[in-house]
Amino acid sequence: MTNFPISKPTALDTAQPASEAQDAPCTSGIGSSTEKPCYRDRGAVRASFPSTSISTPPDEATSGPVPRPLSRAVRLAGRMTSKGYEPENWEWFTTLTYTDSDGRHVGCDPMSIPSEVLTAAGHAPRRTKSIIRALGDEPVDPSIIRHKQLRQHCLSCATTPGQVRRCAIIDCPIWPYRMGHNPHHPQRGCNPFKTKVRNHLEVSRKT
């Protein structure tokens, strides 16, 4: 297991609302080693499914050293195995996800993951156009031009916002932006109001 300082989810994060408990699985092609699912199928293979829907990385990935950084950005180029869909950056699976009390894989909040970890896992900073191009022939709403708007595509791919939050398809280019925030923003985690007040106080002291 890696030692990156990723905050653990709280009980509130792992709680499943009643409205999400009835999410209908989209299982066409999932779990088959011969048929690769369509984009919507891959997007539906989230933590609301049994843990076998996404293949678990080999044991050496969880007990060995820190995964090696990827040399290129992810582009949803995983493969189907006998256990399910295996992301192309599977070495980072246990770093970017956790297992809830029901044994389901849940994607961590990207805003809790250090930017350098996301970069090493294949999610380096990219322009919105580059992220959309990485999806290949998947149709994307042309009105999406900003990072925070990428969540709209996730909502069209999933059934509920809860599935977007729990998404464990870590090789999807949009995965780090699924919560509507840019985890690579230089001022992420900063409170703009506090920053403004602090700057004002500093100016007042100098005068």
* Distance separating alpha carbons of residues 182 and 185, to the nearest angstrom: 6
Query: Could you tell me the two tokens for 61?
Result: 């990935």
Say whether 82 sits in a helix, a strand or coil.
Answer: coil
**Residue tagged 């990935």 (tokens):** 61
Per-residue pLDDT in tens (0 to 9) along the chain, 207 residues? 445 545 444 444 444 444 444 443 333 333 333 333 433 444 434 333 333 345 544 443 344 567 999 999 999 999 999 989 999 999 999 999 999 999 999 999 999 999 999 999 999 999 999 999 999 999 999 999 999 999 999 999 998 999 999 999 999 999 999 999 999 998 876 666 665 666 666 766 776
How far does Cα 181 stand from its chain's mean position?
Answer: 12
Residue 49 CA to residue 139 CA, distance in Å, equals 25
Closest CA to 118 of 81, 157, 173: 173
Q: Which residues contact 33 (CB under 8 A, 6 or more apart)?
A: 80, 81, 82
Q: Which pLDDT score is estimated for 198?
A: 63
How many Cα atoms sit within 13 Å of 166 on the Cβ side? 30
Q: What are the backbone angles phi and psi of residue 79, rounded to the nearest 5°?
A: -140, 155
88 φ/ψ sector (left φ>0, alpha ψ -120 to 50, else beta): alpha
Distance CA 162, CA 149 (A): 17
For residue 204, the SS3 value is helix
Domain ranges in the chain are 16-206
The pLDDT of residue 199 is 65
Q: Which residues pair with 98 in a beta bridge?
A: 106
Look up residue 110 and give its two tokens. Answer: 């990207």
CA-closest candidate to residue 69, choices 113, 121, 110, 118: 121
pTM given for the model: 0.67
Phi, psi of 14 (to 5 degrees): -90, -10
pLDDT at 9: 47
Q: What is the largest CA-CA distance in the chain?
A: 72
